[in-house]
Structure 1
Amino acid sequence: MIGAGMGAMAAAARLAVAGHRVTVFERTDTYGGGVRRFERAGFAFDTGPGLLHLPAVWRDFFVKTGKEPLEKCVELVQVDPASRHVFADGTAVTLPNASRAGVVAALDGALGTGAGERWGEFLGRARDAWDRSRRPLLEEPLPPETSRFARDPYPALKGGLLRRPARTLAEVGRRELRDPRLAALLESHALAYGFDPATAPASAAVLPYMEQTFGSWYVRGGMRALADAVHERCLARGVEFVLGTEVTEIRIEDGRAVGVELADGSTAEADHVVTGAPVPALYRDRVLPWASPDEWPHHQSAVRTGRVTVCLALRGARAADAAHRTVVHSPDRAGESAALSAGRLCDRPTVVVLRPDDERLRPGGHEAVTVTATVPAGTGDRMSDPSWGEHVTDGDATGVEAFADRMTAAAEAAVPGLRERLLWREVRTPADTFRETGTPRVPGPALAGAGGALLPAANVSPVPGVYFAGGWSHPGGGLAHSGMSGALVTGLIVEGADFRGSQ
């Protein structure tokens, strides 16, 4: 197995339970892929996902790989309220967790009568899109013929002189929600997964539906604690990890994978090769040989975004009534979208501020806060630390820090007095993502529509014996979706071509 990301580990433990001998080669010195932690002076910060949606995926993993359930391995806490939103006009709304009626009431109270009803009607249409796409896009292997996924399953309302339905998420917000604050609420869900609302298909409506239906969860000790628990489950099932060891090539004989070659020149034989490494990195570095990029399998090539995360160590205790998650919306949503499209940093991004009430992440009497923004990942996958800044800030060496300053200033709407409390900060960019995962980009979950441009690579690769797991493979990025990819790969290996999906 290549790579020790969450999807790969999800497959590793399941395959070990099925009787396979599994060895995982990981080029970095740790496991977890993008689920990392930054630690300094007693503070700890999640630098990947900060919350978990669809926890049933990982409950299924722990049940299927052992007798201990998820809640026995980690302390899972439902986040309530689910989020607080601060809009450009200063209006704020606090949304309860997994309560459609509660969300409707909160929106009516904060934004005016009728706002909640419009949001509720939108969620009804989003549910239809979810019902139409859930099984084929989450629970079944991606078929060789994917043309049916090019059609958008969201039943958009028709409007305008030509009675044309909305084609993008931004159009859905304008036409169906008819309030710039509700539109910003909708668009923030797409941004959180790295999608530009101006180009994301209307089917991205399933993202807020998924969150508000199944809830938002936090793992005590940070989301890295989930990666620790998955790694421990792999070890308990006999999976061997070889860290700090890069796979340079998948060995192919008679048209089928027979093992891997390592950076030191040694080889390891295998009946099957599962790779959790980013699909674009596999072809870029020719771990899998191809004559030209035209022959590469599809892998969400339309996703060109990454993340800047600012870790803030704050003096003084967290306010007792602080929301775990606050979204501070950009005052210029159109400008933010235009900057993403042009590959540059915007003047003031939408930021997600996470303030976990978790004593394991901070020294006594202090607070650890993360602030995240979606940004262009650069012009390609070969990003080094300075080159990312050059690509997105026209070579201004102060550009990244200046952008972090703007993110920190925006976060003060969620953390009053933040800058006076600041002890120190750490800024992480897509260049850090590149060093840790092999690509500066962060993949999103699979979405139907957009002509199929947001479908990840199928779990079965074009090379017999090679399988793809993790965020760049079906059903896409995010903790839950990566876990699903591990289950799908296991089914394909254990049951073969007859496998029709998870139950």
Structure 2
Amino acid sequence: MARIAVIGAGMGALAASARLAVAGHRVVVYERAATYGGAVGVLERDGFVFDTGPGLLPVPAVYRDLFVKTGKKPLEQCVDLVQVDPASHHVFADGTQVSLPNASRAGVVSALDAALGAGAGERWGDFLVRAREAWDRTRRPLLEEPLWPNWQVLAEREPYPVVRQRRLLRTRAAATLAEVGSWELGDPRLAVLLESHALAHGLDPRVAPPAAAVLPYMEHAFGTWYVRGGMRELARAVYERCLARKVEFHFDTAVGRIVEKDGRAAGVELADGAVADADFVVAGVAPAVLDRLSSHAVLRGDAEVPPQRGRPSRLTVHLALRGGRPGGVAHRTVVHAADREAELNGLFGERRAGPAAPGTALPASPTVTVLRPGDPALVPDVDHEAVTLAVTVPSGLEPTEKDAQRVLTTAERAVPGLRDRLLWHEVRTPADIARATGADGGAVPAPALAAAGGRLLHPSNSTRVTGLFTVGGWAHPGGGLPHAGMSGALVAGLIVEGPDFQGSQ
């Protein structure tokens, strides 16, 4: 039995802890905050409850596998997991609206044809077929296997089978997700629909590779899911599974540094000076925090994937509304920006090639995701509604009340009479995310993607220090609830089976 010290209690760290404990190791988690979950937080006020992090769960199979491998009760006996239908409702700048059924290709094709005109659904369906090819080519190396030592193969190879078209007297293939939308989908609204999946993860579609097509494909193939009571209930269930497996937690306990001995991780020194010895250390923290905990750069090297920095953040506005949720309202509505190019310029700068340049201000007309769960557990009674508005914003942004009002104005296109119903609103800023996660500027990590020269890969779970591993959104395979869960599985496999571990089965 090995002694394992885990730094942080985010979802990836919790997933690794449960798996390591069931393998017979003694696992102790040190979390500087007062609770678990990391970015999967909750806001409670006046009987209203809001998720402050992810509001929906894609690819629930990751957490189903976690619960199967760590105990007798499956996921569905620990949380009330329900499929969201429609998966999303979209309001485009020209006023066109469409609801997309959950995990139904035929339903999506019909809905798009009805809303956007004959042929639109078929073009989107054909795109999803190509996106599936990209998914099939990258699923194992990007989700189920440790990062390859020759990761450059993933960085250089474009897995999406782009359609070659004649442009400017020569045959060309789309080089970015935005070009895929413009060249292959044939309708600017379909292009906006595609780009919104990248934007939701803080990616600039003008720079993101065609491989980002796997993002809408994952939602289409595996559906969109919600946990009744809010996504915080998923964090609670994973935490309780850790407790059942005898994982030990120390909250309000900051780690000051990672102790090394003879080039190997040997434990952690707490902020109060106490030292906890360990055979392995698992760090579920952002790169900047790991830099402070180590005496040298454990993630850097000429042949290694560098840590991502300067990613965009997220602004959320939580609304307490009088009046119950109307029937037939979609759980998730995306209100698209009136001027997408201006929005992207505001977020990423005007460069069209190379790494995205961070923006400095909220776009004048941002894309706003409106979440209306209609969950009785989130409101004081049936005569009230809890709504969350989410916007991708530059990291480090210090929003003003004027910014919040601008988001409310956009959201009124999805929630008529919003201001007349508003009891109060509360804004969660990038600074709040920074406090919860330790990420500089409240940056939110994106899922790992192939191609793009490796810019969208994340550092390996193994580090340059023997016995030190990284887990969570800032490590392979990147950000997002399913990716965090997979990072936990990978770290557990690397510790239990050793460096020859080839990935989850």
Q: Classify the TM-score, shorter chain.
A: over 0.9
* 1:59-458 alignment runs, 5 A limit: 59-150=64-155, 151-159=157-165, 160=167, 161-283=169-291, 285=292, 287-290=293-296, 295=301, 298=305, 301=308, 304-342=311-349, 343-344=359-360, 345-364=362-381, 365-378=383-396, 388-389=397-398, 399-439=399-439, 440-458=442-460
Counterpart CA distance in 1 for 2:307 and 2:284 is: 15
Which piece of structure 1 moves more, 33-42 or 158-167? 158-167
- Check conservation: 2:471, 2:484, Cα contact below 8 A: yes
Aligned partner of 1:355: which letter? R
Aligned partner of 1:402: which letter? K
CA deviation after TM superposition for structure 1 residue 279, in Å: 2.5
CA deviation after TM superposition for structure 1 residue 289, in Å: 2.0
- 3-state SS of 1:57 partner: helix
User: Can you list the C-alpha shifts for 1:307-356, whole angstroms capped at 9, x where unaligned?
Assistant: 00000000110001110000000011101111111312210110100000
Counterpart CA distance in 2 for 1:244 and 1:255 is: 29
* Corresponding residue of 1:392: none
Counterpart CA distance in 1 for 2:306 and 2:201 is: 16
- Check conservation: 1:299, 1:472, Cα contact below 8 A: no
CA deviation after TM superposition for structure 1 residue 302, in Å: 5.9
User: Can you list the C-alpha shifts for 1:16-37, whole angstroms capped at 9, x where unaligned?
Assistant: 0000000000011110010000
User: Can you list the C-alpha shifts for 1:215-238, whole angstroms capped at 9, x where unaligned?
Assistant: 000000000000000000000100
* Corresponding residue of 2:51: 46
User: Can you list the C-alpha shifts for 1:383-423, whole angstroms capped at 9, x where unaligned?
Assistant: xxxxx42xxxxxxxxx5221211111111111111111000
Change (3 A) 1:291 1:239: closer
Counterpart CA distance in 2 for 1:261 and 1:205 is: 43
CA deviation after TM superposition for structure 1 residue 124, in Å: 0.8
Counterpart CA distance in 2 for 1:124 and 1:429 is: 38
CA deviation after TM superposition for structure 1 residue 41, in Å: 0.7
Aligned partner of 2:411: which letter? A
Change (3 A) 1:465 1:42: same
Indicate whether 1:6 and 2:48 are aligned: no
Change (3 A) 1:12 1:129: same
- Check conservation: 1:11, 1:489, Cα contact below 8 A: yes
Counterpart CA distance in 2 for 1:75 and 1:299 is: 39
Counterpart CA distance in 1 for 2:404 and 2:253 is: 34
Change (3 A) 1:300 1:417: farther
Change (3 A) 1:409 1:357: same
- Check conservation: 2:299, 2:307, Cα contact below 8 A: no
Aligned partner of 1:267: which letter? V
- Check conservation: 1:279, 1:457, Cα contact below 8 A: no
Counterpart CA distance in 2 for 1:291 and 1:135 is: 28
Aligned partner of 2:474: which letter? W
Structure 1 unaligned blocks of 5 or more: 379-387, 390-398
CA deviation after TM superposition for structure 1 residue 363, in Å: 1.1
RMSD: 1.3
Counterpart CA distance in 2 for 1:202 and 1:214 is: 20
User: Can you list the C-alpha shifts for 1:468-499, whole angstroms capped at 9, x where unaligned?
Assistant: 11111111111111000000101100000121
CA deviation after TM superposition for structure 1 residue 248, in Å: 1.2
* Corresponding residue of 1:31: 36
User: Can you list the C-alpha shifts for 1:114-141, whole angstroms capped at 9, x where unaligned?
Assistant: 1001101111110110011011111010
- Check conservation: 2:202, 2:444, Cα contact below 8 A: yes
* Corresponding residue of 1:468: 470
Runs of 4+ in 1 over 3 A off after TM superposition: 291-300
- Check conservation: 1:302, 1:453, Cα contact below 8 A: no
Aligned partner of 1:228: which letter? R
Change (3 A) 1:292 1:499: closer
- 3-state SS of 1:22 partner: strand
- Check conservation: 2:8, 2:30, Cα contact below 8 A: yes
- 3-state SS of 1:72 partner: helix
- 3-state SS of 2:423 partner: strand
Counterpart CA distance in 2 for 1:404 and 1:208 is: 28
Counterpart CA distance in 1 for 2:75 and 2:306 is: 30
Aligned partner of 1:351: which letter? V
User: Can you list the C-alpha shifts for 1:452-477, whole angstroms capped at 9, x where unaligned?
Assistant: 00001111111100011111111111
CA deviation after TM superposition for structure 1 residue 164, in Å: 2.2
* Corresponding residue of 1:480: 482
Aligned partner of 1:481: which letter? H
Which piece of structure 1 moves more, 191-200 or 84-93? 191-200
* Corresponding residue of 1:394: none
Which piece of structure 1 moves more, 193-202 or 228-237? 193-202
Aligned partner of 2:370: which letter? V
Change (3 A) 1:22 1:104: same
- 3-state SS of 2:40 partner: coil
* Corresponding residue of 1:495: 497
Aligned partner of 2:495: which letter? I
CA deviation after TM superposition for structure 1 residue 162, in Å: 3.3
TM-score relative to the length of structure 2: 0.94
Counterpart CA distance in 1 for 2:363 and 2:175 is: 25
- Check conservation: 1:157, 1:176, Cα contact below 8 A: yes
Counterpart CA distance in 1 for 2:499 and 2:257 is: 26
- Check conservation: 1:195, 1:303, Cα contact below 8 A: no
Counterpart CA distance in 2 for 1:36 and 1:111 is: 37
Counterpart CA distance in 1 for 2:254 and 2:450 is: 34
Counterpart CA distance in 1 for 2:420 and 2:270 is: 50
Aligned partner of 1:271: which letter? D
Q: How many residues align?
A: 483
- Check conservation: 1:303, 1:454, Cα contact below 8 A: no
- Check conservation: 1:194, 1:303, Cα contact below 8 A: no
TM-score relative to the length of structure 1: 0.94
Counterpart CA distance in 2 for 1:37 and 1:98 is: 28
CA deviation after TM superposition for structure 1 residue 292, in Å: 10
CA deviation after TM superposition for structure 1 residue 299, in Å: 5.0
